[in-house]
Amino acid sequence: MTAQFKYCEACRKAPVAIVNGCDSVEYPYKLCQACNNRLESESLRPIEWYNLACIHGPWGDNLGPYLEDGSPDNPESGLTRAEIVANSAPTLANVKLHAEALLEFTISRFSISQDLRQAWCALSPEEVLRTVTDHFAINRQPTPRECCLKVIAATQGARGAAFVRYCWGEFPALSALALAEASAACLPEQEAFDRCIATIHASKGAEKRESIRVLEYLRSPLVLDWIEREIFEPITEIWGEIAAPNSFDWTRAEAWLRSGRPLSLVAIDALGRMAANESSLTNSPRLAARPGRRRLVDVLSAYAKADPVPRVQHRVALLITMAEPYLFDPDRTD
């Protein structure tokens, strides 16, 4: 990759004339004069935007005003339709059979879509691991590297364990969230849990309340046991959001509701997350071992009576309204 970029990173034809550190001093764009002018005027051609996003990721300030196919999202770009068509960026269909090209494509995306995930899973896992490992060694930027971790998480399972352990050596340059997602997919449950917990313990001050989000990926009851032991202020909705996808079931919910604060507040937030059926994760969390409707309403109502503050009253009322079909089993009569 280094030798390749004696040529402009955008057009990949003209020699580098400008080292543009507008977005990152550490990893500047290396451009010819013409591409630098187009970058500054938000009028890169689709293939030029794509080539830059393949190397740096799509998040840079100067790469923002473009659509995912690389065409400018700016009517004043000056590019004609014909110019856009003649300089189009590759599509998934163009790259999906070649791991290296697919990885570049993936780095240029804002997220991994279902189609993209399927394309990765159709390739040989050995080839994917080799391609990602090679790319990771060459491109040291955090965004592309975190994309590599996502690909490993989606394709490798236990085969990716050695790679993920190596990547933990790059923390905190690599985000704990990216490492947590790959760890949940590739490492033994206890090891993934221990590594994530260590990042929480290493966090200080305001960072600490957000640091618990690493636990959202683990899908392990170890997280629920840890919450029971270690929960700390402030008791925000984040606690419920991380409890919900970690094998949260009705037995645990009922125990937490009966125990009172703070775990009862976490329980109603976790149930709320499940009732709303919303999640940033691929699969929305579902309540296991659901009770019958009467039991659900009785337990929630008893808790609302015991903790008569507006936050609890409002959320319990909402839960009872929203319960179907996520929180109770319509076939149960209890």
Q: Name the site residues for Zn ion (rule: CB under 5 A).
A: 8, 10-11, 14, 32, 35
Residue closer to Zn ion by CB (options 29, 303) is 29
Residue closer to Zn ion by CB (options 29, 163) is 29
Of the CA atoms within 13 Å of residue 180, those in its CB half-sphere come to: 24
Residue closer to Zn ion by CB (options 47, 312) is 47
Pairwise CA distance, residues 227 & 223, whole Å:
6
Residue closer to Zn ion by CB (options 32, 128) is 32
Q: What SS3 class is residue 98?
A: coil
Residue closer to Zn ion by CB (options 32, 242) is 32
Instruction: Report whether 9 contacts 30 (CB < 8 A).
Output: yes
| Residue 36 beta carbon to Zn ion: minimum distance, rounded to whole angstroms | 8
| Residue 29 beta carbon to Zn ion: minimum distance, rounded to whole angstroms | 10
Residue closer to Zn ion by CB (options 48, 241) is 48
Residue closer to Zn ion by CB (options 39, 132) is 39
Report whether the peptide linkage leading into residue 28 is cis, meaning its omega lies within 30 degrees of zero.
no
| Residue 152 beta carbon to Zn ion: minimum distance, rounded to whole angstroms | 32
Residue closer to Zn ion by CB (options 10, 274) is 10
Q: Directed axis angle between helix 99-107 and helix 114-121, to 10°?
A: 160
DSSP state of 30: E
- CA distances (Å), origin 19, targets 23, 39, 327: 11, 12, 56
Instruction: Report whether 286 contacts 326 (CB < 8 A).
Output: yes
Among the listed residues 197, 196, 201, 136, the one whose alpha carbon sits nearest the alpha carbon of residue 162: 136
β-pairing verdict for 29-31 and 18-20: antiparallel
Q: What phi and psi, each to the nearest 5 degrees, are found at residue 66? A: -135, 155
Residue 80 CB-density burial (10 A; 0-12 exposed, 13-18 middle, 19+ buried): exposed
Burial 233-258 (b: 16+ CB within 10 A, else e): eebeebbbbbbbbbbbebebbbebbe
| Residue 274 beta carbon to Zn ion: minimum distance, rounded to whole angstroms | 50
